[in-house]
Structure 1
Amino acid sequence: MMASNGALPAGNPIAVISPQFCAPYPVEFAIAKKITIFIQGNYDVFQVRGNNMFKVRGTPTICQRRRVLFDAAGVPLVSLQQKVWSAHNRWEVYRGDSSHTSDLLFSVKKSSILQLRTSLHVFLASNTAEKVCDFKIKGNSWDEFAVYQGNSDNSIAKMHKKHPGRSVFIGDDTYSITVDQNVDYAFIAALCLVLNEIDTNDDDD
């Protein structure tokens, strides 16, 4: 995992989950949430041409939400887990299907408790002080979001939330995503999942 001091080296590949997901060209894909009567938190992640890249499965729990991101072959890449009783709606992301502290990769939380527009801070596991975020996600009034390095204005990915309509099996949460070259697109997919879960939780409150 890369070193963390709130400022990442410019021009170098940004690999948080794995360098295998850093392409030498921009990557475009979409995330669609699937809702069934029994289990929520299932998503499909697919390329513009329709090829599946990842899939996400929700794990039924009583007190907290947990999601697992799998690659196309069904191998678990990361697990996303909501922290219980977190004022900033914090989510923690672990390697594989783990929830052990030693496997923590990064965490995401709201930059402030009360927000008019979405603003999330991302901290790598090595950034224990959390004085400066390693990444941030900022949204506008048109359901458009961007991922930035640290506190800079250097955007590395963009997301656009769409509302295609409600269905029993396909939810109304669909994102189109563009990731810059040499940026870990599995990491960006995980960030988008957390973003949607936090926004969904805010809408439910």
Structure 2
Amino acid sequence: MTAAIGEELPPPASEATSPANFYTADSDPIVVIGKKFIVPNPVELKIQQTVFTIAENYLDIVDDNGNPIFKVRDKLFSVHNRRVLFDAAGIPLVSLRQKISSVHRRWKVFRGESEGAVDFLFSVKKSSLILRRMKTRTATSLDIFLASNTSESRPDFKIIENWCRSNCTVFHGDTIIAEMHKSQSVKSLVINADNYEITAYPNVDYAFIIALVVILDEINRNGDG
């Protein structure tokens, strides 16, 4: 089965009983943003916060060789709290919009720079299960629902962070499809920003994974995690 755009998927990791495994080149492609972001090998990417101004927060996404792959333009004072993910050529791929009125601060993602229902791809919100440890730290759990999953009886994907928020894992059912960990440089410490190293496993839409990590970072930075 190919997990195509708008297609509801099997149960998430939280409902799985078998040990986690990893997505492979033999697994059916998971396509959410676009087929061109599917490759038969793991993709290693880095998110770097390169510029910080009063008006905007710029993120660059590069490969292991430093080649630009994506960029995010973050309008801090946008009415819709809106971020746009562009490809390296500057073409808008998806818009990430935070629904402020939502109890769980839901993020909705649309194709291009649209906000129309026909271009709605998926949404992300905090899980109703908030994991707590010693009342001092929380581990963020996010549920991801594809556009066709209108009942939202169970998420199509799930993100689980570790307690110190230095790593997260993206699940499709009981299978790990991507992993992220934070890395720090002198520059990131100076501008008080987090950089990320991301592995998207084979046959997983890596633009989709980047969008998820950007949303996770926004939720944590705003204290919604």
Return the TM-score normalized by structure 1.
0.89
Partner SS state of residue 154, structure 2: coil
Matched, 1:124 2:146: yes
Paired position in structure 2 for 1:74: 90
- Structure 1 residue 176 and structure 2 residue 180: aligned? no
Matched, 1:104 2:127: no
What is the aligned partner in structure 1 of residue 178 from structure 2?
157
Equivalent residue for 2:16? none
- The whole-number CA distance in structure 2 between the counterparts of 1:58 and 1:172 is 14
2:180 and 2:156 map into 1 onto residues whose CA distance is: 18
Residue identity over aligned pairs, in percent, reads 45
**Could you say what secondary structure the match of 1:89 adopts?**
coil
User: 1:3-34 deviations in whole A, cap 9, x for unaligned?
Assistant: 214459x8210110001001110000111124
- When structure 1 is superposed on structure 2, of 79-88 and 37-46 the one drifting more is 37-46
Query: Does 2:3 correspond to 1:3?
Result: no
Q: Aligned-pair distance for 1:178?
A: 0.5
Output aligned runs, 1:84-103, within 5 Å. Answer: 84-103=100-119
Distance 1:64 1:119 in 2: 23
Instruction: Report the residue type matching 2:96 in the other structure.
Output: L
Preserved contact between residue 5 and residue 132 of structure 1 (Cα < 8 Å): no
User: Structure 2 matches for 1:188-203, cutoff 5 A?
Assistant: 188-202=209-223
Residue deviations 1:62-110 (CA, integer Å, cap 9, x gap): 5441100000111000000000222112100000011112211000000
User: C-alpha deviations, 1:119-157, integer Å up to 9, x for none?
Assistant: 0000000101000100000011241100001xx321000
* Deviation >3 Å, runs of 4+: 5-8, 60-64
Matching residue within 134, 154, 171 for 1:148: 171
Between the aligned partners of 1:60 and 1:138, the Cα distance in structure 2 is: 26
Number of residues of Structure 1 aligned to a counterpart in Structure 2: 199
Query: 2:33 aligns to what?
Result: 17
| Distance in 2 between residues matched to 1:103 and 1:18, nearest whole Å | 13
Backbone CA RMSD of aligned residues? 2.1
CA distance in 1, matches of 2:143, 2:199: 20
Which whole-Å CA distance do the structure 2 matches of 1:41 and 1:89 have between them?
20
* Structure 1 gaps, min length 5: none
Matched-pair contact (CA < 8 Å) for 1:88–1:113: no
* Cα drift, residue 113 of structure 1: 7.5
- 1:134 maps onto 2:138 in alignment: no
Partner in structure 1 of residue 81 of structure 2: 65
Residues 28, 62 of structure 1: CA spacing in aligned structure 2 closer, same or farther, 3 A cutoff? closer
Given that 2:130 and 2:141 are in contact with CA atoms closer than 8 Å, whether structure 1 keeps it comes out as no
After the TM superposition, which residues 35-74 of structure 1 pair with which residues of structure 2 at under 5 Å, given as runs?
Answer: 35-61=51-77, 63-74=79-90
